[in-house]
Chain A
Amino acid sequence: MSIIVEDTTKRFGDFVAVEGVSLTVPDGSLTALLGPSGSGKSTLLRIIAGLESPDSGRILIQGNDATQTPAQHRNVGFVFQHYAAFKHMTVHDNVAFGLKIRKREKGEINQRVRELLALVHLDGLAGRYPSQLSGGQRQRMALARALAVEPKVLLLDEPFGALDAQVRKELRAWLRRLHDEVHVTTIFVTHDQEEAMEVAEQIVVMNVGRVEQSGPPRELYEHPKSEFVMGFVGAVNRLGSLFVRPHDVEILQRPERGTDEAMIEHLVHLGFEVRVELVLGDGDGLWAQITQAEAEQLELEKGQIVYVRPSHGRVFDRDEVEPPGDGLPSTEELQAA
């Protein structure tokens, strides 16, 4: 059983937030909706939760048409970017909320809340109020609250977006492990490609309300179907019509077949790796990512003339009509190409 989104569109006035999106999320999977802000990913998540209603299209949750079902009866767990903690309730009461609404027995509620707080590592904080917790703790509480009602689906809207970098990293790894334990079908929204690559089994890349491409992280990285996807799931250089990842730029001391002359403008040492910023003969910029060892072997210096060539690159058909505004070809056009 799974979540299926069928040809769904949602407009806000003149703005088309989600346009003809179709999507299948396999049961028990951990899927990321990845895209820049305004790409419609949060709106799509809210449509799946029942917090927005689509103008057209259908949502199927575990085979049942849920399009007309209000959020209250969808049995989805939803986690908000800013936690949406019930500020006037203790951690215990926050987590117990859904169970109290379902009129479960008090002993059962207490038992379940204890288990969940242990699961999210908040044991001992049951009596605290949200204002006495850190951001990371609040978000874990929100997650326990969502999981308490044993949802069919867990939806997270930029769950780590409001947290600082360190806590974010921890929670990512933790979410990954939690999913291995709980196995509930999970969709999370993010604009951070690293987060999506690190956590998700499947990534759906969205842009201007449409799905650009979906698949496992590695497939998206190695076989992007569009310029947009290639640029969004990793760093990219453009050499004319060729798109090259920085680690696919070869740097040579002497000219060889297919090389271009370039001057080193900057060398940025990032620990294990070195970022080499280059200017080509025609004035275009380019950057390469090589290891510290390679950089030493080549004896690279600022201002030096070197010869570069792409070891691997992709060409996307640029003759297609471009959608207005963003200058990027859409999925259909690329698939047709």
Chain B
Amino acid sequence: MLANGRASRWGLRTFALGYLAMLLLIPLGMIFYRAFEHGVGAAFDSVTTPDALHAFYLTIVVTVIAVPFNTVFGVGCALLLVRTNFRGKALINAIIDLPFAISPVVIGLSLLLVYSETGWFGDWLNANGIQVIFALPGIVLATIFVTLPFVVREVVPVLHEIGDEQEQAAQTLGANWWQTFWRITLPAIRWGVGYGVVIGTARALGEFGAVAVVSGRIAGQTQTATIWISEAFSRYDYTGAYFGAVVLAVLAVAALLAMNVFKRKEAA
């Protein structure tokens, strides 16, 4: 056995920690350090400009719209995949994982092809005065697309695990579909849903590639937090870029902590 001896166990631990340190901890630590290099005041000033505030505001708005969409879709889709049998189930199962596999930039470009003024739905959208690309709807669409699989993938195994006997028991006791879902299924999968919502949220906050393509990156209008950070960096506003990154990182860490709480509850 590889990990048998004391020495090899320590060796493995050191290697794993060292690897994580080089890849994650040191770079992230550097960002924290650089953000506060010129003092807290300078850092604070850099991210309270109107454009910066709007960028963070936009990111939160987009997340608050996209995550509930994916939660409802995710739970519904998971129920469909686990509790019913139909032709094409394997296909749906595969399609749901597409956002995991496809680069966000490709997702952004594909949305552009369909929803831009010259895209498939362009004429119809124009005629009805709806702007998708370079506006909030496009950013929301891109974010939904990218974070689509998280809730589904968390809920499917939980549904498998709890089985359908509790639901059948509820039916024999007189509960209709909605009552069974609301009183039995949803409470039983709630930690799985919570877990999926949290990773989906973390991912939505940090989305860059797809949004960069569809948003148009207009400062104070369609600039999200990640795009604002990258713009700040490119105009040599390092303090702003790093502190903006710190804010996003803190949000993500908070999401991770929440995720651990859900994970523990689920295991209990």
Binding site for B on A (CB under 8 A): 49-51, 70-78, 80, 82, 84-88, 97-98, 101-102, 142, 145-146, 148-149
Contact = CB atoms under 8 A, between A and B. Distances in A.
B179 A146 contact: no
A88 B182 CA distance: 12
B174 A80 contact: no
Contacts of A84: 165-166, 168-169
Interface of B is mostly: helix
Nearest to B174: A101
A73 B172 contact: no
B187 interface: yes
A86 B184 contact: yes
Given A86-B184, A87-B188, A98 B174 contact: yes
Contact of A78 (B168, B179, B184, B188): B168
B181 to A, nearest CB: 13
Interface residues on B, range: 10 to 19
Contact of B171 (A51, A85, A88, A145): A51
Interface string B86-102: 00000000000000000
Contact of A76 (B170, B172, B187, B188): B172
A72 B175 contact: yes
A78 B187 CA distance: 22
Contacts of B1: none
B188 A149 contact: no
Contact of B173 (A50, A80, A82, A145): A145
A87 B163 CA distance: 12
B84 interface: no
A72 B169 contact: no
Contacts of B172: 49-51, 71-72, 74, 76-78, 146
B257 to A, nearest CB: 24
A51 B173 contact: no
Nearest to A75: B174
Nearest to A85: B166
B234 interface: no
B258 to A, nearest CB: 20
B128 interface: no
13 contacts: A50-B172, A73-B174, A82-B165, A84-B168, A86-B166, A86-B169, A86-B170, A97-B175, A98-B173, A101-B173, A101-B174, A101-B179, A142-B169
